[in-house]
Amino acid sequence: MVTPSQDDRKIRLLQIVDSLHQGGMENILVQVCNRLDPERFAITVCCLSRTGPFAERLRAGIEVISLEKPPGFSRASVKALRSLMRQGDFDLVHTHHLGGLIYTGLARLKPALARPRIIHSEHIILHGEELRPRRILQRKLLYPLASCVFTVSSQQLDQLKAVGLTHRRQFTLRNGVDGGRFRPLPREERAGHRQKLGLDPGRFWIGKVARFAALKRHQPLIEGFERAAAKNPALGLVLLGDNGGEKERVLAQIDANPMRDRIVWAGLQQDPVPWYQAMDLLVIASESEGMPNAALESMACGVPVLANEVCGVREVAGDGSHSWIEDLGSADLIASALARIAALPAMDLIAAGNAARLHAEAELSLEAMMERYRRLYSGEFFGKTIAP
């Protein structure tokens, strides 16, 4: 019997996330897993808490397992992950966010093993609870277990260093966007396209793509839209996304809003491309991001971006050329920005959209991102330090 050499056999990769519900990190994870060569990689995705709708986007052959972890810390989930890691005999474990690293670190304690090697990534700038001393200490204790730690924006990396979170091998691996899938719609087709989506073809459609989390700041956006729309009857707001702790509150706010007939909630869209193509402007009013994928997808579709000064945005969007990056810290500031941009000449907005598309094609390629992931995973498999 011939045993395959390490060079010939598949790399057994375990991805660990909390869930596969809507989110930028989850979206990138799905794209990475789908594009890794199935002849080279055997992939399992372990959801600590639950699966979620993004699981449906994974290609056939990728195994998805949920540990159904209850809220709070769960010793049973540590044992279940330890059992999974033993049975799967994985070469690499990629942990996303601190929760995945905590459970993976504990699962490897008994017995203490040199493999699987751990790759850890952080996907948002640390804020709130994540900046408390206990959470900083947890990261300081657990980062050494990983062979490398990376962020999706250089601003994140700078923040980690500023709060004393360093690693012998620390870098940024920036997100990318599929320019073949996310692409502009010819201007002459927009009216009919909007009608198919149930959107008034004559409105200036402002879009937001995000789950209903407090840090995404739906409520001030809706308040700002209301104030701007009261002076401009052409404005419309379309929201894509679902789930999150603020969902009921935001939907109630929409129902009670005097401009509710100009606000469309489209829910979670497995294919958001048609909705991006119907927008005139994407707004990111979040208080914190890592690198917002909605900005990349919007720009690839030829839609300019209005963004709050949040982590990662300036790395993908150029203020003044194809986007506007400014203080959106209040409903009044949002209203003022929306009114100003909506009043720009149509040709200026078209030019901004064209510039956004060109920038996405030149600087934010999905294939460039994928090549870095391939190099990273392959290098870790062979125990080599290969710059991704």
Q: What is the pLDDT of residues 242-279, one digit of tens each?
A: 988 899 999 999 999 999 999 999 999 989 999 999 99
Mean pLDDT taken over the chain: 91
**Residue 108: inside a domain, yes or no?**
yes
User: Are 226 and 282 found together in one domain?
Assistant: yes
**Residue 217: inside a domain, yes or no?**
yes
Instruction: Using the predicted structure, report yes or no on whether residue 4 has a pLDDT greater than 70.
Output: no
Q: Are 147 and 169 in contact (CB under 8 A)?
A: yes
Instruction: Using the predicted structure, report yes or no on whether residue 238 has a pLDDT greater than 80.
Output: yes
Range of the domain at 59: 11-176+366-381
Whole-angstrom distance, CA of residue 63 vs CA of residue 60 = 8
Report helix, strand and coil shares of the chain as percent, to nearest 5. Answer: 45, 20, 40
Dihedral sign, Cα of residue 318, residue 324, residue 327, residue 329: negative
**Residue 114: inside a domain, yes or no?**
yes
The whole-model pTM stands at: 0.81
Return the percentage of the chain with pLDDT > 90, whole number: 77
**Residue 6: inside a domain, yes or no?**
no
Residue 53: Cβ-neighbour burial (10 angstroms; 0-12, 13-18, 19+):
middle
User: Are 117 and 263 found together in one domain?
Assistant: no
179-196 pLDDT, tens digit per residue, is 999 999 999 999 999 999
User: Are 29 and 150 found together in one domain?
Assistant: yes
DSSP string, 15-36: EEES--SS-HHHHHHHHHHHHS
